[in-house]
Amino acid sequence: MHLSIITPEKTIYDHDVDQVTLQTVEGEITILPHHIPYVAELKPGELRVVRAGKEEPLVCAGGFVQVLDGDRVAILADDALRVEELDLAAIEAARDRAQQALTEQRHGDDVAHAAAAAILERELARYRVATKYRRPRGGTP
């Protein structure tokens, strides 16, 4: 089946794949060839693609997935990154800023509070994926 992952800035993935596993708001699903037509909202989390028998982990910040004709999958993501693009130090700093903003917005503007909570959820998803696939220094994973 063919998988396209598209963000507002660019297409980050466009290949034939064996399967894709992703996080929807209703739980984790795996899409295989000949899947029924399907649309779901994505939540921030790990996205695992198997291509030619090899797993390629990514992290998605949310969005939507659509399965078309059983052999085409389109992911319209708010943001998505390959694991090798994740910078753990930058993620930790962004997570800390989001936690601080959330604390400051606790009794303030509901919209700002929701935005801070969404940013925190995205950064926590990135952190989980980055630490899961982080390679130890001087060695293999």
Domain hosting residue 53, numbered range: 2-83
Is residue 139 one of the residues assigned to a domain? no
Q: Are residues 100 and 34 in the same domain?
A: no
What is this structure's pTM? 0.73
The CATH number of residue 35's host domain is: 2.60.15.10
96 plus 31 within the same structural domain: no
Q: Which two tokens stand for residue 104?
A: 């400051």
Residue 140 lies in a domain: no
pLDDT, tens digit, for every residue of 30-54? 999 999 999 999 999 899 999 999 9
Residue with tokens 């800023």: 97
Task: Specify the number of domains making up the chain.
Answer: 2
The pLDDT tens digits for 92-114 are: 777 777 777 767 766 667 777 67
Q: Report the run of H or E that residue 133 belongs to, with start and end.
A: helix 110-133
50-54 contacts at long range (C-beta below 8 A, 24 or more positions apart): 50/17, 50/18, 50/19, 50/20, 51/15, 51/16, 51/17, 51/18, 52/18, 53/18
Continuous segment of H or E residues that includes residue 67:
strand 63-68
pLDDT at position 137, please?
Answer: 42
